[in-house]
């Protein structure tokens, strides 16, 4: 009887831990769909899933911000959108316009892609001024700066992250998910050194299961961008 009681208590504790983990991990996830073929029906479905699983936000292309906002009305789920996505190579003025329109349409968080070519050309002032200009438009809403780590050397990751912090970003983000690679633990470590607690970190790209998501959270990541948010949460129920 004693052994059975201990076993029951252990199972109860494990179930409680899983439940708490699910609630916690939900708060980390930006539930994402950014593919070119996403339809209105896909966006509505994304929002329904975000409501059901109580994700932190949905992340959609800027043309779908208004639709997402409408379908999340009355919920706690925020609307996040991308700017200058996925290459980051358009003009600063184009990014500023896209940001203004996205906020007008209801976006609460902006994930912008830096001009990677300008960074690699060592035009660091340009990169900083572009981020600062967009943060000026974003104001007290959240700005996440995507540095696209797969194209950068470790030193460039440090430099890009430092520039983003200097320009007052709220987050530095690893990837678009459309480059040659996604989030890597060694990149997170470089970013952590650079931001030094002055900005949060978002990992995205290739995060498709619970173990990977938890490993990034344990490494100090504050947000996760994933199109596999539902399957990640469902793993906790198994």
Active site residue ranges: 111, 173, 202
* DSSP annotation string for 105-150: HT-SEEEEEP-HHHHHTT-HHHHHHHHHHHHHHHTTSEEEEE--GG
Q: Minimal CA–CA distance to 130: which of 105, 152, 147?
A: 147
Task: Give the HSE-up count for residue 209: Cα atoms under 13 Å, Cβ half-sphere.
Answer: 3
For residue 3, what are the CA distances in angstroms to 7, 8, 12, 36, 62?
A: 6, 9, 14, 56, 57
- Is residue 71 within 8 Å of residue 49, measured between CB atoms? no
How far from chain centre, in Å, is Cα 15? 28
- Rounded to an integer, what distance in angstroms lies between the CA atom of residue 89 and that of residue 91? 7
Instruction: Give, in degrees to the nearest 5, the angle at Cα 86 between 80 and 91.
Output: 100
CB 40, CB 60: distance < 8 Å: no
d(CA 154, CA 159): 9
> Residue 147, preceding bond cis, omega within 30 degrees?
no
Rounded CA-CA distance 167/104 in Å is 23
């Amino acid at each position: 009887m004693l052994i059975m009681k201990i076993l029951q208590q252990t199972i109860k504790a494990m179930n409680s831990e899983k439940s708490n983990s699910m609630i916690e991990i939900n708060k980390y996830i930006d539930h994402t769909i950014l593919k070119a073929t996403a339809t209105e029906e896909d966006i509505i479905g994304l929002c329904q899933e975000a409501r059901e699983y109580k994700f932190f936000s949905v992340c959609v292309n800027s043309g779908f911000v208004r639709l997402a906002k409408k379908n999340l009305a009355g919920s706690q789920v925020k609307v996040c959108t991308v700017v200058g996505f996925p290459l980051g190579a358009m003009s600063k003025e184009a990014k500023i316009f896209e940001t203004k329109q996205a906020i007008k349409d209801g976006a609460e968080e902006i994930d912008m892609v830096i001009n990677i070519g300008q960074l690699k050309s060592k035009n660091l002032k340009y990169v900083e001024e572009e981020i600062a200009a967009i943060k000026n438009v974003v104001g007290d809403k959240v700005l996440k700066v995507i540095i696209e780590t797969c194209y950068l050397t470790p030193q460039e990751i440090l430099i890009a992250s430092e520039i983003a912090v200097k320009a007052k970003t709220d987050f530095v983000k690893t990837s678009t998910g459309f480059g040659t690679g996604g989030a890597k633990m060694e990149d997170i470590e470089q970013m952590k050194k650079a931001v030094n607690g002055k900005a949060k970190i978002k990992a995205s790209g290739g995060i498709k299961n619970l173990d990977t998501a938890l490993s990034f959270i344990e490494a100090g990541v504050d947000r996760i961008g994933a199109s596999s948010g539902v399957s990640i949460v469902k793993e906790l129920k198994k």
